[in-house]
Amino acid sequence: MLEERPREKDCQALCKESSNGSLTGNSLCRAGEGGYDAHSGSTRRLWYEALLEGSSAMRRRSFLAYTAGISAGALCPSAHAGVARHAIRVAAGQDRFNKPTPLGSTRSIYCKVSARDNGGGWSAFESQWRTKGGPPLHLHRGQDEWFYAIKGEYIFQVGEDRFRLTAGDSILLPRQVPHTFAFVEDGEGKMIFAFQPAGDMEAFFREQSKLTGTPSAKEVERMYRAHGLELVGPPLSL
């Protein structure tokens, strides 16, 4: 049983060494409270074993050779080209890139925190509603989703449970759990919502905004699946 975490200097040293190597692929570690941690699975075991067995250059070189295919930029987010190095202010009613994403005539999405700002760690959006309704029942394969109601009333279906949200309420939706929601008031609504990790949601909203007319069920299913979601059922009946 492992009884200690890799120290931050160990992670930094390994990431520094890997920047001169040929690591390419998915993320191994992330900055976290109290230091650095590893992702799940076999890479977690390799990560801890390589650090805890000793700090010799030979062992580190063996570790790096074994994990060839993992990028240095992905090992530590601080080395990722998409990590912001300065504060990013987005004014009220504005989009991160000054390009709000309209979803039909009933809803607009304003990006507030982009995946480009933090190496894909998370993203956040503001949603403005003009009529009742919501998305079909779906799930996210690899993301948790969080909502905070600013204005209006919403009904959420999460698994077998239903929740009512009004201004000031929030709800966390675990990944891989079917869910949907709907704005149920006359007038306008506004919510903040976020994804962790960011996934491909910015591209998903952009593709939705390009739809003309009513897409077929097959096209909707393809679009969801292409961006890490699974279509499970219809929208809520209001």
- pLDDT for 145: 98
Which tens digits make up the pLDDT trace of 144-199?
999 999 999 999 999 999 999 999 999 999 999 999 999 999 999 999 999 999 99
Residue 60 has pLDDT above 70, yes or no: no
Q: Let me know if 151 is exposed, middle or buried by CB neighbors in 10 A (0-12, 13-18, 19+).
A: middle
**Amino acid 104: pLDDT:** 86
Tokens standing for residue 39: 């992702």
Work out the pLDDT band at 17, boundaries 50, 70, 90.
Answer: very low
The model's confidence at residue 33, banded by pLDDT at 50, 70 and 90, is: very low
Q: Give the pLDDT of residue 203.
A: 97
pLDDT score of 238:
83
In the chain, where are the structural domains located? 8-79, 101-233
Q: Which fold has domain 101-233?
A: Jelly Rolls (2.60.120)
pLDDT digits (tens, 9 = 90+) for 102-117: 998 889 999 999 999 9
Cα 206 to chain centroid, rounded: 16
Cα 23 from Cα 65, distance rounded (Å)? 8
With cut-offs at 50, 70 and 90, classify the pLDDT of residue 29: very low
Predicted confidence band of residue 58 (pLDDT cuts 50, 70, 90): very low
Query: Taking 60 as the threshold, does the pLDDT of residue 138 lie above it?
Result: yes
C-beta of residue 194 within 8 angstroms of C-beta of residue 113: yes
- The contacts of residue 42 (CB under 8 Å, 6+ apart) are none
43 has pLDDT over 60: no
At residue 87, the 3 state secondary structure works out as coil
Question: How big is the CA angle at 137 (ends 142 and 170), to the nearest 5 degrees?
Answer: 70
b/e code 90-115 from CB counts within 10 Å (16+ = b): beeeebbeeebbeeeeebbbbbbbbb
Distance CA 157, CA 225 (A): 20
Cα 10 from Cα 21, distance rounded (Å): 17
DSSP H or E run through 164: strand 161-165
pLDDT in tens, 205-225: 999 999 988 899 999 999 999
